[in-house]
Structure 1
Amino acid sequence: MLNTLFASVLLAATSLNVLALELKGHLTQGGLVTGKIENAQSVSFNGKALKLSAKGDFVFGFGRDANTMHNLTWVDSSGKTHSQDLVITKRDYQIDKITGVAKKYVSPAKELSARISREARAIRQARQVNSDLTYFLDPVLKPAQGRISGVYGSQRYFNGEPRRPHFGLDIANKTGTPVYAPISGTVVFAEPDIYYSGGTLILDHGHGVTSTYIHLSKLDVQQGDTISQGSKIAEIGATGRVTGPHLDWRFNWQGERLDPALLMHDTLANKK
């Protein structure tokens, strides 16, 4: 079994050749792992087929509360099936008690339920994109300057009431602070006024990997735009359910919510 936090190389011998399977990333809850295997017919993660690029690249990730045992299976060019167990590490998450949240965001009025449900469905649909882009292979840079004010996975209490865990990395700074694309992608969602998240952007980076930017005061891009790493996409704000201006930055692989801090390099995206 493979259990490591960074990178590894597996060799699978066959009667015809030797296939090298390379994995890079974090084998832990909230982690993203990229892989490469040449001449493979298919690759599956926990029995689910993964998209393969023309060069044999693929990606998968682990949610906040993912089980520790996983399995990667691939079929080589001769049709032989190979299997590798993966063991990931569990994480401890902090408690985050937030006060001063407006009551309308803690217990929304019933007449808002239709709007909230409609917006949630639109965001889920945007995150279901599974394009052929391979920007997920690029280094992920920091999207904005500021203080880290909230971390991934923390169990949140708003005004003393328990709520869902936090699935992003919060970067606090004044309203109007530029937000830059940490990696290239395509805009698949751009709305200035979502009830909970305020100004909201979602970028597609390929193979089910998306990044989300919320509480924005200004959006500089629109749905369908192609964005280069380091280009300005928005400005930090205090829209939606907040107690002060900040960027809530998130990463998803399909339905799994990932930890941006595990992916982020310290270099600011516009200072490459």
Structure 2
Amino acid sequence: MIPSRRALLTGAGASLIAAPLVAPVAAQDRNALPLALNGAWRQGGYAFGRTAPRALIFVDGDALTTASAAGLFVIGFDRDAAASVQIEALADGRSARRTLDIAPYAFPSTTVNGLPPSTVEPSDPALLARIQQEIALKTEGFASRIDADDFKSGFIWPLESYRVSSAWGAQRILNGTPARPHYGIDLAAPQGSVIRAPADGRIAFVRPDMHFEGGLTLIDHGQGLITCYLHQSRLNVEQGQRVRRGDPLGRVGMTGRATGPHLCWRMKWRDRNLDPSLMVGGRAPETLA
């Protein structure tokens, strides 16, 4: 169970890249922590923060993460995030609190036809059992929590040349059947194009033959920020391997639920789905002043 701040204390439109928000600390306010924030404050977006090293970070009253040894942290806003979010940093009896306005976003609708029926509405008992096993494997990968702030320098695109063939967050109609929103951004590219790590991290999961995702890789960038790379035709990394920005991860393919060669690029922060493209070019606050 995630503790609330109260329980802890008593027991113990466009991309909307936000300008840095820096909280000055008044000399007489000894209980205030320094806190700087920037990012994309919209549904599917994120905030990078800098505060005291190892400060506990609360989001709407729940303790969700801890700042790194350098005082850096990240939080994410899901596709259906509320209109505002409260962020609080707490360390050594001192705190800082900020409320961010989260912009709504009009997500498109996309239709995909020609998919194999077993990838849209599977019914075979053996296949359903396989899918459940793969869900358990993915859940373990998404539970990775390395103590790192590899997100701090932001992200680059994982492909050098691509066409966005499906926008992030789109409501999907698959073979005429309404499906859950698409929590990835599809980058169409020639079969075999090299996929590169967009930021430093550690490989949390890799498998070549997932039913829906095909060749799948997960990278842990620290504090529960995980990026995902689907439909690969070739995998170049191993679980537990450390990767640096620009390192080859694999090759574009059309394995799993796909009708053409492309990379589906996804991002999760804990249980929240984020648009990874919003982090391209972003950087965590470099100073507190």
TM more than 0.5: yes
Residue from 37, 41, 50 that aligns with 1:23: 37
Which of the numbers 51, 58, 70 marks the counterpart of 1:55? 70
**Alignment check: 8 A CA contact 1:12 1:82 kept:** no
Q: TM-score, normalised by structure 1?
A: 0.91
Count of residues paired in the alignment: 263
Distance 1:66 1:151 in 2: 18
Q: Which moved more, 1:122-131 or 1:204-213?
A: 122-131
Number of the residue aligned with 1:269:
none
Specify the alignment match of 1:187 in structure 2: 203
What is aligned with 1:124?
139
Seen in structure 2, the aligned counterparts of structure 1 residues 39 and 156 have a Cα distance that, compared at 3 Å, is closer
Q: Residue deviations 1:183-211, cap 9 Å, x none? A: 11111100000000100000010011010
* Counterpart for residue 218 of structure 1: 234
User: Which string of whole-angstrom CA distances, capped at 9 and with x for unpartnered residues, describes residues 104-161 of structure 1?
Assistant: 2112133211111111121122112121111111220010121111111100001111
Does residue 156 (structure 1) correspond to residue 169 (structure 2)? The answer is: no
Q: Identity over aligned residues, as a percent? A: 33
Q: Which deviates the most, 44-53 or 195-204?
A: 44-53
1:136 aligns to what SS in structure 2? Answer: coil
Q: Residue 30 of structure 1 aligns to which amino acid in structure 2?
A: G
Does the C-alpha gap of structure 1 residues 41 and 230 become closer, same or farther in structure 2, counting only changes over 3 Å?
Answer: closer
Task: Please report the RMSD computed on the Cα atoms of aligned residues, expressed in angstroms.
Answer: 1.9
Amino acid at match of 1:108: P
1:110 alignment counterpart: 124
Structure 1: stretches of 5+ with no match in the other structure: 267-272
Measure, in 2, the Cα distance between the counterparts of 1:251 and 1:192: 19
Shift of 1:41: 4.4
Kept after mapping to 1: 8 A contact 2:50/2:71: yes
Q: What TM-score does the superposition give when structure 2 sets the normalisation length?
A: 0.86
Unaligned regions of 5+ residues in structure 2, if any?
1-15, 283-289
Confirm whether residue 134 of structure 1 aligns to residue 149 of structure 2. Answer: yes
Q: 1:34 to 1:265 in 2, by over 3 A?
A: closer
User: Contact between 1:40 and 1:74, CA under 8 Å: does it hold in 2?
Assistant: no
Inter-partner Cα distance in structure 1 for 2:147 and 2:53: 18
The answer to whether the 8 Å contact 1:6/1:27 transfers is no
1:209-248 aligned within 5 A:
209-248=225-264
Q: Higher strand proportion, which one?
A: 1
1:16 deviates by: 3.0
Deviates more, 1:52-61 or 1:185-194: 52-61
Matched-pair contact (CA < 8 Å) for 1:4–1:88: no
Counterpart selection for 1:10 from 23, 32, 35: 23
Residue 174 of structure 1 and its aligned partner are, at CA, apart by 1.7
Aligned residue type for 1:198: G
- How far off its partner does 1:15 sit? 3.1
State the alpha-carbon separation in 1 of the partners of residues 232 and 217 from structure 2: 8
SS at structure 2 position matched to 1:191: strand
Q: How many angstroms does 1:74 deviate by?
A: 2.3
Q: Distance in 2 between matches of 1:155 and 1:15?
A: 48
Query: What amino acid maps onto 2:39 in structure 1?
Result: G
2:13 aligned partner: none
2:23 alignment partner AA: L
1:38-96: per-residue Cα shift (whole Å, max 9, x none)?
A: 3674321122222111121111011101111211122354x144432222111110010
Whole-angstrom distance in 1 between the partners of 2:61 and 2:141: 24
Q: Which moved more, 1:103-112 or 1:15-24?
A: 15-24
The 1:41/1:149 distance shift into structure 2, 3 A limit, reads: closer
What one-letter code is carried by the residue in structure 1 that aligns with 2:206? A
